[in-house]
């Protein structure tokens, strides 16, 4: 249970870090909090000749308002996000999702950039980013770019990032008036990765829904948007919407739902539908009370 030997790099700047990744190619991997990477190295599910530790890289940490969004540095720990009054106020869905990640001993090291880049299908943050329409800032030797959450998660543990590209920050839209948020998941024990879950964001405009974002996790090879349900809900009057129908619609088009000894694909779909229905109800209620 010991990781294979590797060469350790701890660059102080972003340019140096992406330069190293470019030079070393697919034999190198970025190391952030290590809470996903180190278990994979210990189990030898992954072997890299070089690890590029991001802990010294300046400018990767922090939580601040930037032109109407809340910017969170990729290296910000889940614990710092949980403690932040700014996050609770501006991006309540992110604040509510954070305590569901593992245990506090994991969150003290795990970073938001690591959670997003690792892109585990059952992780909470990718689904939250999808539901809110967050944007990811990335940097490579070719320069910086912004990737919308909806274009980022491309498959099982794979993302739109190139091998020599790092996430530097995530921009979340600041909560508008008359909006509501909820995340619901079903896990066998607190702190386990969820069997299935849903993050829902609802924005009202007068009596109608202006925007509804639904992010699903544990229900495919990667976090997914329930696009059909979202489209159906936009413009609708929430009073006439049946929560269970929202749940059914959200999971109806799902393909390749995971199946293992903890639950068949059919079971996960039913749990997923129930999680969507619950989260929808709570989100829409909060938006109406707001």
Partner 1 sequence: MTDVDIQLKVNGTVRRATVPPRLVLADFLRVNCGLTGTHLGCEHGVCGACTILLDGEAVRACLVFAVQADGSEITTIEGIAAPDGALSPVQAAFRDHHGLQCGFCTPGFVISATALLQENPAPTDEEIREGLSGNLCRCTGYQGILNAVRAAADPGTD
Ligand X SMILES: Cc1cc2nc3c(=O)[nH]c(=O)nc-3n(C[C@H](O)[C@H](O)[C@H](O)COP(=O)(O)OP(=O)(O)OC[C@H]3O[C@@H](n4cnc5c(N)ncnc54)[C@H](O)[C@@H]3O)c2cc1C
* Piece in contact with ligand X (CB under 6 A), picked from 114-122, 142-150, 253-261, 265-273: 114-122
Nearer to ligand X, 101 or 243 (CB): 101
Examine residue 130 and tell whether it contacts ligand X (CB under 6 A). no
Residue ranges that bind partner 1, judged by CB under 8 A: 1-8, 10, 31, 34-35, 38-39, 41-43, 51, 53, 55, 79, 99, 102-106, 108-109, 189-191
- The alpha-helical segments, DSSP class H, found in 84-238 are 85-90, 92-97, 104-107, 112-118, 124-132, 227-233
- Report which of 174, 182, 140, 187 is spatially closest to residue 23, judged by C-alpha positions: 140
Number of residues that bind ligand X (CB under 6 A): 32
Phi, psi of 120 (to 5 degrees): -65, 135
C-alpha angle 163/158/279, rounded to 5°?
Answer: 135
Nearer to partner 1, 78 or 159 (CB): 78
174-203: contacts with ligand X (CB under 6 A): 191, 193
Q: Which of 117, 129, 132, 134 binds ligand X (CB under 6 A)?
A: 117
Q: Which of 9, 24, 28, 33 binds ligand X (CB under 6 A)?
A: 33
* Piece in contact with ligand X (CB under 6 A), picked from 121-129, 144-152, 260-268, 271-279: 121-129
Q: Where are the beta strands (DSSP E) in 62-177?
A: 63-66, 69-73, 135-140, 143-148, 153-155, 158-159, 166-173
Q: What is the DSSP letter of 263?
A: B
State the minimum distance, in angstroms, from the CB of residue 234 to ligand X.
28
Nearer to ligand X, 130 or 284 (CB): 130
Chain center to CA of 99:
13
- Give strand pairing partners of 180: 202
Nearer to ligand X, 32 or 249 (CB): 32
- Report which of 208, 193, 200 is spatially closest to residue 262, judged by C-alpha positions: 193
* Contact criterion met (CB below 8 Å) for 119 and 223: yes
State the binding partner of 115 from partner 1, ligand X, none, CB within 5 to 8 A by kind. Answer: ligand X
Nearer to partner 1, 191 or 221 (CB): 191
- Report which of 211, 181, 188, 219 is spatially closest to residue 98, judged by C-alpha positions: 181
* Residues of this chain that bind ligand X (CB under 6 A): 29-37, 39, 54, 74, 101-102, 106, 109-111, 113-115, 117-118, 120, 123-125, 161, 166-167, 191, 193
């Amino acid at each position: 249970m010991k990781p294979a030997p590797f060469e350790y790099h701890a660059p102080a700047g972003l340019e140096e870090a992406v330069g190293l990744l470019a030079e070393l190619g697919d034999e190198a991997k970025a190391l952030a909090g290590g809470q996903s990477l180190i278990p994979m190295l210990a189990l030898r599910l992954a072997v890299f000749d070089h690890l590029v530790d991001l802990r010294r890289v300046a400018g990767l940490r922090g939580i601040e308002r930037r032109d109407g969004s809340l910017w969170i540095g990729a290296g910000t720990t889940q614990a710092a996000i949980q403690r932040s009054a700014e996050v609770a106020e501006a991006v309540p869905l992110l604040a509510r999702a954070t305590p569901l990640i593992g245990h506090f001993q994991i969150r003290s090291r795990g970073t938001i950039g690591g959670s997003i880049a690792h892109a585990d299908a059952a992780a909470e943050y990718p689904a939250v980013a999808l539901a809110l329409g967050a944007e990811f800032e990335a940097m490579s030797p070719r320069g910086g770019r912004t990737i919308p959450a909806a274009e980022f998660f491309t498959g099982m543990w794979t993302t739109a990032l190139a091998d020599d590209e790092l996430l530097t920050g995530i921009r979340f839209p600041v909560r508008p008036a008359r909006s509501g948020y909820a995340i619901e998941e079903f896990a066998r024990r607190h702190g386990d990765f969820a069997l299935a879950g849903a993050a829902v964001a609802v924005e009202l405009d007068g009596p109608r829904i202006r925007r509804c974002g639904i992010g699903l996790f544990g229900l495919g090879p990667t976090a997914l948007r329930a696009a059909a349900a979202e489209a159906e809900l936009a413009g609708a009057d929430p009073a006439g919407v049946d929560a269970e129908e929202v749940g059914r619609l959200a999971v109806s088009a799902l393909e390749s739902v995971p199946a293992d000894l903890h639950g068949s694909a059919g079971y996960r779909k039913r749990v997923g539908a129930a999680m969507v229905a619950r989260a929808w109800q709570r989100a829409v209620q909060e938006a109406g009370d707001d």
